Structures are given as structure tokens and as C-alpha cells.
């Protein structure tokens, strides 16, 4: 990455911070419902990107089965340890037999 890119990104981050400080309460109330949903949406996007991509290409492999099994376990309200172990076993089992 070039120094120009780093400086532009730094200036943009500082500008966002400045806008947040100067706007204050005007935007905090209307955006509160959206802000509460952002962490879940960002985590879901990260999970999908890590599950179905390999570099710059789309890959469907055992990781996707593990995510689906983990999602099903969460939907069934299984404890976190059970979710992780079930996803791990599904991924490892498919990799072992395929």
C-alpha cells in the first residue's frame, strides 16, 4: 500500500470521528436501532466470506457443511460447546470421507 493511500484512509477516519463528535445527539437516536444490528451483520458477513471463499475465488467445500451444522445447532439452542464440536465433527468427517 502506498503512503498516499495510508494518508487518505487516515484522513477519512479522522473525518468520520470529527463528524461523529460534531453531530452528537442529532444522529444517535435515529440510528440507534440500526447500530444495534451492525455487529451481527458484520460477523455474519465475515463468517460467510471465510466459509465460501479461497483467496479471490468461490469455493464450496467441507467448511460450508460445518457452518450449516453449526447454524442448525444454534437454531436448536444447543450450548456453545456443542455448536462448535458439532461443526468441527461435520467438517472433519466430510474431509475424511471425501
Q: Are residues 69 and 96 in the same domain?
A: yes
98: helix, coil or strand? coil
Which of 43, 46, 90, 39 is closest to 68 using CA atoms?
90
Q: Is residue 68 part of a domain?
A: yes
> How many other CB atoms are found less than 10 A from the CB of residue 56?
5
Q: Is residue 55 part of a domain?
A: no
pLDDT at position 80, please?
95
pLDDT at position 59, please?
85
Q: Is residue 6 part of a domain?
A: yes
Nearest-angstrom CA–CA distance, 94 and 96: 5
**HEC string of 50-76?**
HHHEECCEECCCHHHHHHHHHHHHHHC
Quick check: 20 pLDDT over 90? Answer: no
Residue for grid cell 467448511 = 63
Q: What is the mean pLDDT of residues 75-93?
A: 96
Nearest-angstrom CA–CA distance, 71 and 43: 13
Please write the tens of the pLDDT for every residue from 25-83: 787 788 888 888 999 999 989 988 888 888 888 888 899 999 999 999 999 999 999 99
Residue 21: domain span: 1-45
- What is the total count of domains within the chain? 2
Nearest-angstrom CA–CA distance, 24 and 62: 46
Amino acid at each position: 500500500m502506498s503512503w498516499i493511500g495510508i494518508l487518505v484512509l487516515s484522513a477519512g477516519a479522522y473525518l468520520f470521528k470529527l463528524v461523529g463528535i460534531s453531530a452528537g445527539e442529532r444522529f444517535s437516536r435515529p440510528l440507534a436501532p440500526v447500530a444495534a444490528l451492525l455487529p451481527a451483520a458484520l460477523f455474519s458477513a465475515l463468517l460467510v466470506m471465510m466459509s465460501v471463499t479461497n483467496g479471490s475465488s468461490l469455493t464450496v467445500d467441507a467448511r460450508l457443511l460445518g457452518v450449516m451444522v453449526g447454524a442448525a445447532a444454534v437454531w436448536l439452542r444447543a450450548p456453545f460447546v456443542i455448536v462448535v464440536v458439532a461443526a468441527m465433527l461435520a467438517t472433519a468427517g466430510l474431509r475424511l470421507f471425501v
